[in-house]
Chains A and B, each alone.
Chain A
Amino acid sequence: MLHTRHLCRHYPMGGTIVKALDDLSLDVAEGEFLALVGTSGSGKSTLLNLIGGLDQPSAGSLEVRGRDLARMTRDELSLHRRNTVGMIFQSFNLVPSMTAVENVALSLMFAGVPRAERDQRASALLEAMGLGGRQHHRPKELSGGEQQRVAVARALANQPPLLLADEPTGNLDSRTSREIMDLVRTLNERDGKTIILVTHDAALASAYARRTVTLLDGNVISDTGQPAVLERA
């Protein structure tokens, strides 16, 4: 599903170069649930943004489903973001002026889904997230957990095979965190979505992910390895 080879992301800063990612090679199979951990500044978010097509590598290759993101045009990257990945963030990133259902429908809008269909699909997704009664609430009228559910619904709207989550529970209490993580696990186990989860929380990583990759200074320092069952698949 995902292969990186000698992946680098360098930021020129004045005279020096900040190496957020440096010669990183990683393979992720379809259907994995992978946790990315590491100290602050180790490059977790940088890697996730590259996989999500929000950013492009400085060097090396980054293949998702057989296509190298390093060589994509801006338009191809936007198609990648729309169809191949769904992202959720620590700060939810919902459009504050839009209701829950409008936020979810927005990603369907970019995909060109007709109005009636996207409203119906967005509504069904929210229902599945347990937000049946909150469809017409704006983000500020929702709790953190509810907002993150809306974000998950939005990330799933265009049915991407890959779900990227950057500290999705960073702003939530432990109980709500577990609810969100349970939801994500269901998406992995029931729907076969590949999950890459960035987190600081080692306990959370070991509780939910089946593989943990640790980064330091832009490189992998430990990898619990791909589960055998998935390697066969």
Chain B
Amino acid sequence: MTFTDTLLLAFRNLRQSRLRTSLTTLGVAIGIASLAGMVSLGVGLQEQVVGRLTQSGVFDSITVTSGRANIPGMGGMGLGRVAGRGGRGGRGGPGNTTPTQPAAPLDDAAVARFAALSHVRDAYPTLRIPMSYQYDGRTNAALAAGIPESSRGEGAFQSITHGTFFPDATGASVMLTLEMAQQLKADAPGSLIGQTLELSYADSAPNAQGTPEFVAGVQVTRVSLPFTIVGIVERDPAPGANLGLSAIMIPLEQARAINARAIANPQAFLQGAAPQTRRYTAVTVRVTSAANTQDVQDQIKAMGFTAFSLNDALQGAKRAFLVLDILLALVGSIALAVSSLGIVNTMVMSILERTREIGIMKAIGGSDRDVRGIFLVEAATIGLIGGMAGIVLGWGVGRFINIGANIYIERQGGTAGDLFSLPWWLILGAMAFALFVSLVAGSYPARRAARLDPIQALRHE
């Protein structure tokens, strides 16, 4: 018997018991819908989380510190740590098991070498300068971060709540976090744009212009500079973003200049060294895409530096989502398992009803294979149609839930997004799985039909 004829007979049988066929198919559809819906939810959540994290620019940046130590934790550049590490002169840190190499100096030459690596977009020192600001007669302390021009329009700067990014790379302009802006002007933070913010730092040079002061017994000079507030940025929710938002953001060039003189830089203070040999506590290296992070990180490590990125954390998050997907898929599979029993039941019923017909087919020359083929095709058809319907059903229910959930999320002040994602591999996978399950479920009844004794079958009423 040809395969086309097998299809012909199978379809005709399915048509004959239309109600039973549709109910069984519906059962499979519900099973597949729940499975595909669950996995779709897992994938959707993963895309939401990983997607937002990736957009934040966290995963394409590498934090380089001198020596070969591993930085524990996630990279925030606290001042205390900066001082502590600086004092150790960049030697291997705690928990370092690799043999200590002579530490390469983390200076402008090193930054230039990082920048020259392939797939590197930008390399710049990570500068966090303790400064104080005067506004409305009050003086407060804040960390000023040097923001490179390459961050324009990226990560946390993709959307700027009020105002704009720095108009140029060198000017005396400043951006604030929304949180800080609200501290300054609770009712209308936006009105700060265009106003002047006085920033001051402690200069280590005794001959600098400004007011001499004594800090820890050392004579320093307070230097005040007027900055124009150009933008206000909502703090990025991504933790440990070393692109980094400090309360105050100034252009990198400004930060470099201040850093070279500020007393907060212990090396600058102790060495009084020329700017080009001055060492940095940390350097940020941005790669062209997150896929290159590991590669560049390894190259930098090979140069004798310590390099750290959140790529490892991203891989961990992806693994966690894989576990979540599997759990969701297992839950979804329960419904499919039930519906596969439905297939077995339907097929066994159908064999009982058609016993005599099977006997006739065998008496006139149908082989075991022919009979088995007919029943397997029937099961597979139920599986495929059920699978297709299930995907449509799962998609529809997912859309529906998504709309409801997003209304809720927006009311709670969150950002709406697709909680369900239906990539092509999930569609194909669900179809293949539906087919597979139905064939497994159909194999026992099909075998039973094929092995029927023709004489008994012909006697059957």
Contact = CB atoms under 8 A, between A and B. Distances in A.
A173 B364 CA distance: 26
A81 B363 contact: yes
A154 B360 CA distance: 11
B365 A95 contact: no
Nearest to B356: A93
Given A55-B455, A112-B2, A97 B363 contact: no
Contacts of B357: 95
B368 A109 contact: no
Contacts of B362: 54, 78, 81
Interface stretch (A29-37, A82-90, A202-210): A82-90
Contacts of A81: 362-365
B118 interface: no
B370 interface: yes
Contacts of A54: 362-363, 454-455, 458
B455 A110 contact: no
Contacts of B9: 109
Contact of A75 (B2, B359, B368): B368
B458 A93 contact: yes
Chain B's interface size range is: 20 to 34
Contact of B365 (A49, A89, A158): A158
A154 B363 CA distance: 11
Q: Tell which of A54, A97, A158 has the most Cβ of chain B within 10 Å.
A: A54
A54 B363 CA distance: 7
Nearest to B12: A97
Interface in A50-107: 52, 54-55, 74-75, 78-79, 81-83, 87, 89, 93-95, 97, 106-107
Contacts of A230: none
Interface of A: 49, 52, 54-55, 74-75, 78-79, 81-83, 87, 89, 93-95, 97, 106-107, 109-112, 114-115, 154-155, 158
Per CB-CB distance, the 10 closest pairs between chain A and chain B, nearest first, are: A82-B365, A78-B367, A107-B364, A110-B365, A54-B454, A110-B366, A81-B365, A109-B5, A93-B360, A54-B455
Interface of B: 1-2, 4-5, 9, 12, 16, 356-357, 359-370, 454-455, 458
Given A54-B454, A93-B458, A110-B366, 9 more contacts: A55-B454, A75-B369, A81-B362, A81-B364, A93-B359, A95-B361, A107-B365, A110-B365, A115-B4
17 contacts: A54-B455, A54-B458, A75-B369, A79-B365, A81-B362, A82-B366, A83-B365, A87-B364, A93-B363, A95-B360, A97-B12, A106-B364, A110-B364, A111-B365, A112-B1, A115-B5, A155-B364
